């Protein structure tokens, strides 16, 4: 626990979370952007949007991939981390809930148990995915998105770089570290010790 | 500014920016989605309570005179047990009818101009391999393909529509478009959905050609 606190205080945990979630989001979005019809069909298979609301379904197919792409870039660059993290958290929670809701129907249709079930979830590409493993991965991503949302660390972010450029003194890492020390109670505590 | 306020502000800017980029990009690309179009009109019809009295379509052999018609009624074939019956019910609720692999293959062997095979898959899938003579009609971009269909639709007495098989519903979308949405639509009694699609066709070892034209054009 202490090691995790030290990692978090140094900004490394947040940096790892940003890299993992950011890269996953970007890689997930590329296929959806390049082939909007396939993604539209996969979204439609969930049956979450009433058939009388085609505009809503089309908007989801057009906007969600770009939420992932822009969100992934923002996380890698370190821009608007709290807001992007919160939206990412909500998206991932929504996707995961949709997969969970669809799973019993697919189990009945395919006649397979929970640990054998696989279907195209529209997550990354159109190939069928093992669902229990997908849910485990999504749970991990949700935890990381939550960490990004609540963490105050700005280690190796564009925000810290801009702040350093504005001040025109000291190295960006040192600046970021001092900023963190001011803002992050964990780091302040560690330094005091 | 409190953290919550800052988070809300960042989230709003992020969603607005991503939405604007997504909508802008979609409007500029040639294969963008038409936001106002219902791409799955058959979903709404299929969800309606089934009519207790379905119109019985005429047999597909009507009008096919150059060769003997395949034996049996293709619409009556419901392979696959309960799943097959469920699929047949769904087709019936849309005013469509299914056709089995065997019957589809028999019609294919006739090689008659009054029999039209329609491949409802994407460009890449069609190019990689399709049933010889099948005309492509990907139902999500109907304007791109409708002229090719029009060339054959007027004389075709039997139209067999297929896609990838399995969970694929593009053949149903295409058949629904051809029988209801297309200007001067094809009568539904002439249109058959081969739900086994390419999966069953390949498994049976039946012929395929690659390329962008019905008879194939790749070496």
* Region at B63 (left for phi over 0; alpha for psi -120 to 50; beta for the rest): left
pLDDT grade for A9, boundaries at 50, 70 and 90: low
Token readout for B158 is: 């039997």
- CB–CB of B18 and A63 under 8 A? yes
Task: Point out the residue among B10, B25, B167 whose CB comes nearest to the CB of A80.
Answer: B10
Average pLDDT of B26-52? 78
Beta bridge partners of B117: B160
CA-CA distance, A132 to A126, in Å (whole number)?
Answer: 17
Chain B contact present for A71, CB below 8 A: yes
CA distance A178 to chain B (A): 19
Chain B contact present for A135, CB below 8 A: no
pLDDT at B177: 93
CA distance B73 to chain A (A): 28
Average pLDDT of B200-210? 96
Average pLDDT of B28-50? 80
pLDDT at B42: 81
Show which residues on chain B lie within 8 Å of chain A, measured between beta carbons: 3, 6-15, 17-19, 21-23, 25-26, 31-41, 43-44, 47, 122, 140-141, 167, 169-170
Tokens 């200007």 label which residue?
B183
Average pLDDT of B107-133? 93
Strands B115-119 and B97-98: unpaired
Average pLDDT of B89-94? 83
CA-CA distance, B63 to B86, in Å (whole number)?
Answer: 30
Residue A1 scores a pLDDT above 90: no
Residues in chain B: 219
CA-CA distance, A6 to B102, in Å (whole number)?
Answer: 68
Query: What is the 3-state composition of chain B as percent helix, strand, coil, each rounded to the nearest 5?
Result: 45, 10, 45
CA-CA distance, A158 to B11, in Å (whole number)?
Answer: 17
CA-CA distance, A74 to A22, in Å (whole number)?
Answer: 8
Average pLDDT of A120-140? 90
- CB–CB of B10 and A120 under 8 A? no
Beta bridge partners of A130: A118
- CB–CB of A70 and B33 under 8 A? no
Average pLDDT of A57-63? 96
Q: Which residue of B has its CA nearest to A84?
A: B11
ipTM of the complex: 0.81
Planar angle of CA A94, B35, A128, nearest 5 degrees: 45
Average pLDDT of A59-65? 97
- CB–CB of A86 and B37 under 8 A? no
B60 closest CA partner among B92, B118, B121, B106: B106
Task: Point out the residue among B14, B35, B170 whose CB comes nearest to the CB of A59.
Answer: B35
Residue B151 scores a pLDDT above 80: yes
Chain B contact present for A125, CB below 8 A: no
What are the strands, taking DSSP E only, across chain A? 118-119, 129-130
CA-CA distance, B75 to A141, in Å (whole number)?
Answer: 48
Residue pLDDT, tens place only, A81-118: 999 999 999 999 999 999 999 999 999 988 999 999 99
What global pTM score does this model have?
0.79
CA-CA distance, B191 to B159, in Å (whole number)?
Answer: 5
Q: Which residue of B has its CA nearest to A109?
A: B83
């Amino acid at each position: 626990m202490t090691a995790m606190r030290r990692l978090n205080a140094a900004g490394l945990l947040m940096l790892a979370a940003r890299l993992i979630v950011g890269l996953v989001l970007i890689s997930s979005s590329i296929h959806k952007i390049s082939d909007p019809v396939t993604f539209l069909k996969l979204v439609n298979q969930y049956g979450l949007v009433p058939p009388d609301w085609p505009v809503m379904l089309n908007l989801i197919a057009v906007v969600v991939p770009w939420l992932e792409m822009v969100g992934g870039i923002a996380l890698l660059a370190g821009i608007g981390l709290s807001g992007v993290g919160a939206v990412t958290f909500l998206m991932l929670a929504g996707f995961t809930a949709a997969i969970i809701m669809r799973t019993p129907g697919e189990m009945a249709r395919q006649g397979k148990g929970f640990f054998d079930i696989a279907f195209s979830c529209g997550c990354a590409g159109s190939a069928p995915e093992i669902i229990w493993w997908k849910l485990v991965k999504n749970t991990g991503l949700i935890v990381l998105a939550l960490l990004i949302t609540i963490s105050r660390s700005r280690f190796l972010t564009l925000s810290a770089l801009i702040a350093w450029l504005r001040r025109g003194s000291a190295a960006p890492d040192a600046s970021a570290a001092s900023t963190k020390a001011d803002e992050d109670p964990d780091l302040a505590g560690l330094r005091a010790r | 500014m409190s953290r919550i306020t800052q988070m809300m502000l960042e989230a709003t800017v992020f969603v607005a920016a991503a939405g604007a980029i997504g909508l802008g990009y979609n409007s500029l690309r040639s294969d963008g989605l038409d936001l106002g179009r219902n791409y799955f009109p058959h979903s709404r019809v299929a969800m309606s309570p089934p009519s207790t009295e379905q119109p019985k379509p005429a047999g597909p052999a009507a009008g096919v005179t150059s060769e003997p018609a395949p034996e049996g009624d293709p619409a009556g074939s419901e392979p696959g047990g309960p799943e097959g019956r469920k699929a047949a019910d769904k087709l019936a609720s849309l005013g469509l009818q299914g056709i089995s692999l065997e019957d589809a293959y028999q019609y294919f062997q006739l090689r008659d101009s009054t029999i039209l095979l329609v491949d409802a898959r994407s460009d890449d899938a069609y190019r990689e391999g399709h049933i010889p003579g099948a005309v492509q009609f990907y139902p999500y971009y109907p304007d791109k393909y409708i002229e090719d269909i029009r060339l054959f639709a007027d004389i075709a007495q039997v139209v067999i529509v297929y896609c990838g098989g399995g969970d694929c519903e593009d053949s149903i979308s295409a058949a629904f478009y051809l029988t209801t949405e297309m200007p001067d639509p094809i009568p539904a009694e002439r249109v058959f959905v081969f739900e086994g699609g390419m999966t069953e066709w390949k498994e049976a070892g039946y012929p395929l050609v690659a390329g962008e034209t019905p008879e194939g054009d790749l070496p």
